[in-house]
Amino acid sequence: MVGATGLFALMGAAVKAASTLYTPGEIVMVRSVIGMVAMVLLMRWRGIALASPVPRLHLSRGVSGVVALCLWFTAIAGLPLATAMTLNSMSSVWVAVFVLVGVLLHRRRGTQAVDHGVVDARMVAALLAGFTGVVLVLQPTFAQDQWLHGLVGLASGVLAGVAYLQVSALGRAGEPGERVVFYFSLTGVLFGAAYAVLDGGFSAHTPRGLLLLAAIGALATAAQWMLTRAFATGATLGVASLQYLGIVFSSLLGIALFGEALPATATLGMGLIIVAGVAATLLGGRTRSTSAAAGDA
């Protein structure tokens, strides 16, 4: 899991470098092509059929995940790398919010909610800490007239949380992870290509650009495999908590590669979001393997 978070942080750095040469749609498309090819080969090797009994669920998961990915890549282009990574990592906190709202609605209707784990004062405190962290992280972006990219990054975390819940539903439906990732990648190819066309067409390639695109696809695919392996063989809650190391890695890469210096308020906000995310994961007390199929979404 530590290796996966490091590779995802490197992917984010490559996306930031490539954003000066390509649009977010182009980057999403190429990243998805590489992932789709890898999943086809893996599915053939393991004898997994492409056809799915729940195509609508794959479609909704693909759309929410790919839109989240496009928004995240857009945020990376206009924000410090660590800030964009932090806002996207709010997805675990948003999942907890969705669960809390669902439980409250069930209680109000007098129906029995599905067991989503512990929902108590500690969970509420964790969520409040997370949203306090968001305010502190976004404060510098508003001050530096980066508010639009900040809101885009925040929206990417919300949609990533939605995608995680849909991946969980696919898991309950018995869908293998390889098929989930394949249809997510297929949606990314189609959506990314359409987004690129609407965003001004395709860019001319350079050797540097091609290397960056290849690196993005390779890093994302390797990180996805390591993430899936970690959740399959490790203690789920402990593994899920380790994914927040990506924020630390992104901070270091931002300083080393792009000379990004974050103010004290943003650093404090990141710390609160990390604490809130880990607390929400541990207090949820249920398997969070949903993250395994959407680690970069």
Contact (Cβ atoms closer than 8 angstroms) between residue 171 and residue 290: yes
CA distance 125 to 159: 22
Structural domain boundaries, residue 33: 2-293
Res 144: pLDDT: 74
3-state helix, strand, coil in the chain (%, to 5): 80, 0, 20
According to DSSP H, which parts of 147-263 are helical?
A: 147-172, 177-198, 207-233, 236-242, 245-258
Number of domains into which the chain is organized: 1
Query: How high is the mean pLDDT of the chain?
Result: 85
pTM of the model: 0.84
Q: Give the pLDDT confidence of 22-74 residue by residue, as tens digits.
A: 999 999 999 999 989 999 999 999 999 999 999 999 999 999 999 999 999 99
For the segment 267-295, the average pLDDT, to the nearest whole number, is 69
User: CA nearest 196: which of 70, 13, 64?
Assistant: 70
For the segment 170-188, the average pLDDT, to the nearest whole number, is 89
Q: Give the pLDDT confidence of 10-25 residue by residue, as tens digits.
A: 999 999 999 999 999 9
Task: Decide which of 57 and 120 is more confident.
Answer: 57
Question: Taken in order 55, 27, 227, 132, is the CA torsion positive or negative?
Answer: negative
